[in-house]
Amino acid sequence: MQDKMIAMQVGAVSFADEGTEAVLDALQEKGKVNTLFLANFTYTRGTGGRPFPGFPLADHGTQEYDLNYVGGNFGTGHPEYYRNTFVQADDFQSRDHGDWDMMAEVVPAAHRRGMKVYSWIEESAGKKGAIEQSRRIPNFAQVLEIDARGRKAKRPCFNHPDYRNWHFGLIEDYIKSYEVDGVAWGSERQGPLGNMLGGRWATGEMTCFCEHCRSRAREKGIQVERARQGFLELEKFILSARKNQRPNDGYFVTFWRLLLQYPELLAWESLWHEGQQQFFREVYGMVKAIRPEVQVGWHVYHLHSFSPFHRATQDLAAMSHYSDFIKLVVYNNCAGPRYANFIEAIHKTIFKDAPPGDGVKLISRFLDIDEGPWDEMHNRRWSADYVRKETQRAINAVRSEGNATLIIPGIDVDIPTDKGESLTRQEDVYEAVTAALEAGADGVVLSRKYSEMKLANVAACGRAVDDFQRANENA
C-alpha cells in the first residue's frame, strides 16, 4: 500500500538473533510492513531486548531470555556531536551485541527493498530506564530533576542544558551519519501533579525545582517558593488520603481548595509540560534545518486514553505545528487493565469520596470512552471502536489547525499482560488495523517490539492491509 505507512517497531536483538534479511522478509511478507521504527536508542525492555523475562517468548528468534540486556545506542556515536554536553558517545554505547552497528547494516538493507527507516528514540526516562542511565553514564546525576524538598529525583530535566544538548547531539548524529527517513521520539512522562496522583506511569516526585526550572518560572512570573510550598501541602494531603484519613470536607473538595490556595501548583504543572513541548519544537526545527526531507514526529503514550488530566496536556492541535506525524498509542488489548490501574490510583486520592465504579463512569464520559463496566475492566480488552474513535479525534485535532500532520496509531501486538488478563488474538490485530485505516489514519505502527510478537498476529495486520486496499480499489 503506497500511501499508507505500515510500520514495525523493532529492536537490535531481532536482527542479531534472526538475521537482517530474514527479519525483513518476515515483516514484508507477513505484515506488509513498509517502514521500520528502528529502536536505535533505548534502555527499556518496552522497546529493546527480547520479551520480558517470565512472559511468553515469541514463536521466532532465540528461545531464551536475555537476562543481561542493558540497552543504549545501537548505532555508532560520533564524538563531534557531543561537544556541548558532558555525556560522551562512548558513555551510552550499547555493548549488548558487541561492536555491531545495527543502523549501518539495517538501514541500507531496508532501503534496497524500498522500505523506509525511522530512527526510533525512546527517551528511556521511565523508572527503570532512568535508573539504568544513572548507573551507566558517568555524572548522569547532574541532569536529574530536583524535587520540592531539594532532593535529586530519578528522571532527567528537559530544561537542563547538558541533557538537552545530549539529545540534540544524538539526533543530529543519526540524521547525518545514517540515511534515515525520519525521527520518532518517545517520552513516556507526565508532570508533577500526575506523578503525585499515582498509577502506572507515576513516580510520586514533585519536580522540577532545579536552577534552570526556577529561572524559567521567574521569567513567567511564577512564585517559586509558593509553588514549592504548595507541593509539600499536596504531598501531605495525598499521604493522608492513602491512609484513609478523610478531611472534614472530603477528598475532592480539599484537593480543589489546595489548587485555589496555591494556584502555583497548576502553573508549575504547565511549566513542566511547556519544557517538554519546547524540547519537541527545537528538535523539529533542528532536523528541518539540517535535512528538511526527514520526517519528525512524536510517540503520544497510552495515558492520554485514561487520564483527562494528562489528555489536557497533550494538545494534538498545537503539536501539529511541529509534527510531521504523531504516533498516537491506542493499544486496545491491554487497555482495560491499564485503565483500571489509573482509576484505582485516583480513587485512593482525589476521587476517594466515591467508589471506582462511580468514578469510571464519569471519567469515561470525559474521555468519550464506552468500554464496559468497572467490574470487568481489569481483564477486558477494548474494542476496535476505541481505536476508530481515537484516530478520528486525533485527525480532527490536527486538521482544525489546517495542518497535514499524519496520524499513525500505535497498534497493540502481543504487549505483555498479567495472568488472567486478555492476550492478543489475530482478530484483535485485524480489527484494530482495519478500524484505524477506515477512520482515515495515514498508517499504523505495530507496537511495542517485534521480538515479543507472534507471527500469526503480525500476519493479521498484513491481511487487514490487503483487505482494506482491495475494498478501496473496488469502491
Grid coordinates representing 192 are: 508533577
Quote the percentage of the chain above a pLDDT of 90.
94
Chain mean position to CA 131: 17
Q: How far apart are CA 38 and CA 240, in angstroms?
A: 45
Give the confidence band of 347 by pLDDT, cuts at 50, 70, 90: very high
pLDDT at position 199 is: 85
Q: 32 in a domain, yes or no?
A: yes
Q: How far apart are CA 462 and CA 43, in angstroms?
A: 30
Q: 285 in a domain, yes or no?
A: yes
Give the confidence band of 3 by pLDDT, cuts at 50, 70, 90: confident
Q: Count structural domains, the chain.
A: 1
Q: For 400-441, where are the alpha helices, taking DSSP H only?
A: 426-438
- CATH number of the domain where residue 273 is located: 3.20.20.80
Range with the poorest average pLDDT among 198-207, 296-305, 310-319, 342-351? 198-207
Q: 206 in a domain, yes or no?
A: no
Q: Which domain holds residue 402?
A: 5-191+269-473
Q: 215 in a domain, yes or no?
A: no
Q: 260 in a domain, yes or no?
A: no
Whether residue 255 has pLDDT greater than 90: yes
Q: 250 in a domain, yes or no?
A: no
pLDDT at position 387 is: 99
pLDDT at position 125 is: 66
Nearest CA-CA partner of 383 in 430, 326, 314: 430
Q: 263 in a domain, yes or no?
A: no
Cα 292–297–302 angle (5° rounding)? 180
Whether residue 130 has pLDDT greater than 80: no
Q: 92 in a domain, yes or no?
A: yes
Would you say the pTM of this structure is higher than 0.95? yes
pLDDT tens for each residue of 93-117: 999 999 999 999 999 999 999 999 9
Whether residue 1 has pLDDT greater than 70: no
Give the confidence band of 2 by pLDDT, cuts at 50, 70, 90: low
pLDDT at position 131 is: 84
Residue 43, classed as helix, strand or coil, is coil
In angstroms, the Cα distances linking 345 to 199, 230, 253, 339, 415 are 5, 21, 18, 10, 22
pLDDT tens for each residue of 46-84: 999 999 999 999 999 999 999 999 999 999 999 999 999
Nearest CA-CA partner of 436 in 35, 2, 7: 7
Whether residue 30 has pLDDT greater than 80: yes
pLDDT tens for each residue of 407-465: 999 999 999 999 889 999 999 999 999 999 999 999 999 999 999 999 999 999 999 99
